[in-house]
Amino acid sequence: MSPKKIILRFGKDISTKPVIYHLAKDFDLVFNILKASVDPYKEGVMVMELTGEKYEQGLEFLKQEGVRVQPLAEEVSWNQEICTSCGACTDICPTGALHINRPSMEVEFESDNCIICKACVTVCPVRAMEVKF
């Protein structure tokens, strides 16, 4: 089977547990971590590619451990025509995908760094961020 991209979200109670280690050891899954971050409140987000015979069992294990699993099928898009470069999203975006280019102060969006958390979608005052499926 080909690798599947998934997003894992951890609460602060899980971020100290070695759940990814168990994916490899107990389920013989091959993982490739694309992005990982733990915010100051110990809540973590990880985007990874995952392959192996016991893929479904591995996902079940993650869910039992309290990890929220989501396929990376959605996409957040930036409507540059609507965006006013106000910047209100840039300190809400957890990965810096939305950031201010200095000194021009123009807002930029690097979709490769987006982990589809959708925080920007509700925060954007002019609704320039849209979720696409």
Residue with smaller CB distance to other proteins, 6 or 120 = 120
Each residue 28-47 as x (binds other proteins by CB under 8 A) or -, in order, gives ------------xx------
Q: Is 111 in the site for other proteins (CB under 8 A)?
A: no
Q: Is 106 in the site for other proteins (CB under 8 A)?
A: yes
Distances in whole angstroms, Cα of residue 46 to Cα of each of 41, 69, 116, 126, 129: 15, 10, 11, 29, 22
List the one residue from 36, 38, 88, 117 that touches other proteins (CB under 8 A): 88
Residue with smaller CB distance to other proteins, 17 or 127 = 127
In angstroms, give the least distance from the CB of 128 to other proteins: 10
DSSP structural state of residue 103: T
Burial of 65 (0-12, 13-18, 19+ CB in 10 A): middle
List the one residue from 91, 111, 118, 131 that touches other proteins (CB under 8 A): 91
Distances in whole angstroms, Cα of residue 37 to Cα of each of 23, 32, 44, 48: 19, 15, 6, 12
Point out which residues pair with 125 in neighbouring strands: none
Binding site for other proteins (CB under 8 A): 40-41, 84-92, 100, 102-106, 122-123, 125-127
